[in-house]
Amino acid sequence: MKVIIFGATGMVGQGVLRECLVDPGVESVLSIGRRPCGRQDPKLQEILHDDFFNYSAIESRLAGYDACFFCLGVSSVGMDAERYRHLTYDLTMAAATALARLNPGMVFTYVTGRGTDSTERGRVMWARVKGKTENDLLKLPFKAAYMFRPAGIQPLHGVESNLAWARPIYTATAPLLALLVRVSPKSMTTTERVGRAMIGVARDGYPKPVLESADINRF
């Protein structure tokens, strides 16, 4: 299986990349980002790309892939609705539309989050935007598309948050987070399980298009 990853420098993306590199069923990985992901591996290639709304300059390098694991995302904190929609909906759809045209047999996975509003009519701005993004991704002509809605995520295997203030919190609470993964699988998962689940749905499919934490933890 040949895989494209967006967002490999973020916490979720780091974990997904790690699982792809250790899985013998993943033949090659193409990371697309604004800066290097910091990993070296014979399986891994990188494209440094600045314009995440236009892929015409690199289209020739995006064909021939079986799956895309889209792990890019921004926080809505301090952001108005128009800006958040642009960086969430427009950005994601630009990449997905290009990939669907170039790879009609591709499986596309998208990381949203618990509380995403599929009706697009709720009061919470970010949840409406994420819901519309999910809904429109599911309409694209991919082989299949899966929406990942994890709640809490524990970083494992050296994966770190991009937020400096969050790193000591994850370190201090690691035993508690590990316990929550076991006793509350509906509310907590790990970067390892997210990565394994993405590989799993790309390879074998899944009975439904939206995966909550409990679904992710089955992998």
Residue 76 — pLDDT band, cuts 50, 70, 90? confident
Residue 184's pLDDT is what?
Answer: 79
Q: Are 66 and 102 in contact (CB under 8 A)?
A: no
Is the model's pLDDT at 172 over the cut of 90? no
Enumerate residues 6+ apart whose C-beta is below 8 A from 142.
96, 99, 100, 103, 104, 106, 107, 108
Return the pLDDT at 108. 99
For position 71, what pLDDT does the model report?
Answer: 97
Higher-confidence position of 103 and 170 = 103
Enter the pTM of the model: 0.92
Question: 2-216: which CATH topology?
Answer: Rossmann fold (3.40.50)
| Angle, in degrees to the nearest 10, between helices 125-137 and 91-102 | 10
**Tell me, what DSSP letter sits at residue 59?**
G
